[in-house]
Copies of this chain bind each other. A is one copy, B any other.
């Protein structure tokens, strides 16, 4: 699995990735929050049966209990599953689609099914379509917990109705540096849209990356929710692009100095913490997006931002590394990747 984040996508100067997630539960079983081992096993077997019924679609069920801890952490890092899936007391599984790195279905997370599709750049509609392919498997249809009055039922009422969460990971260094983030977050909240840091809830923003997603899942159709977020993201892209131009014209050489210093440290440092690497890569990406380094494209930097996270580094080196060892490997990988493009 080389990772969905190594591919380029539309408007990646601002939108790192798009994600759509559908929550579904089986009406015959207790929902995962009150599930026991037996019922959890049963929901996995429903999934396996459904997947078997559409062999031509190449879905593959992975029992997470059999997956090494490091691989599980890696899947969390690349946003293919949530951190709640690691070390859960009931059996869990992940469904992927061979030959398509975008889809990942968590079985027995907060809901029986969390069907999610991750795509580079702004591609919410396409991501939604990928989710539907799995969601629409005929075997599942009569089994979903669904009410004609309120829609799909979920463990947490905040997901009830469509069960849909549409989100985009956006790179907003200029809005951050021009102190516009607070008011943007405020405006979004008033529209029922959440703005969060790099790893979803309860994390702060690293590398000026923010996740923007709908809060309301009921009272709108799926397409209304997706096009609402899509339009909002397009507005934010506009704001961020304007802020970048302002930043560069207002600060001139001070701005260039910041970007080139980031580049100088990235191409020379022998040790980089995750936090510093993300901050510097974010600044370099900003420069690349403004046309400053013709030899790189923004997808290179997005891939590096993901590859230098702790579990990814350990997957690359094939062994458990101490934080100090990771800092050295992280610096080496960034240096070699950036230098390989200038030689």
Which A residues are within 8 Å of any B CB, using their own CB?
Answer: 253-254, 256-257, 260-261, 263-271, 328, 331
Which residues in B have their C-beta under 8 angstroms from that of A254?
271
Min distance, Cβ A194 to any Cβ of chain B, angstroms: 37
Q: State the copy count for this chain.
A: 2
Question: Is there an interface contact between A267 and B270, defined as CB atoms closer than 8 Å?
Answer: no
Chain A: interface secondary structure?
A: helix
Question: CA separation between A269 and B260, bound complex, in Å?
Answer: 6
Which residues in B have their C-beta under 8 angstroms from that of A257?
269-271, 331
- Known contacts A261-B269, A264-B264, then 9 further A-B pairs from the complex at CB < 8 Å, ordered by chain A residue: A253-B271, A257-B269, A260-B268, A260-B269, A261-B264, A261-B265, A263-B268, A264-B265, A264-B267
| A-B contact list, 12 entries, CB within 8 Å | A253-B328, A257-B269, A257-B270, A260-B269, A260-B270, A261-B264, A261-B265, A261-B268, A261-B269, A263-B264, A264-B267, A264-B268
Question: CA separation between A256 and B271, bound complex, in Å?
Answer: 9
Residue of B nearest to A257 (CB): B270
Which residues in B have their C-beta under 8 angstroms from that of A331?
257
Which residues in B have their C-beta under 8 angstroms from that of A270?
253, 256-257, 260
Residue of B nearest to A270 (CB): B257
Min distance, Cβ A279 to any Cβ of chain B, angstroms: 14
Question: CA separation between A328 and B255, bound complex, in Å?
Answer: 13
Q: Which 10 A-B pairs rank lowest in CB-CB distance, beginning with the nearest?
A: A264-B268, A264-B264, A257-B270, A260-B268, A257-B271, A256-B270, A264-B265, A253-B270, A261-B269, A263-B268
Which residues in B have their C-beta under 8 angstroms from that of A271?
253-254, 257
Which residues in B have their C-beta under 8 angstroms from that of A328?
253
Question: CA separation between A265 and B331, bound complex, in Å?
Answer: 16
Which residues in B have their C-beta under 8 angstroms from that of A266?
264
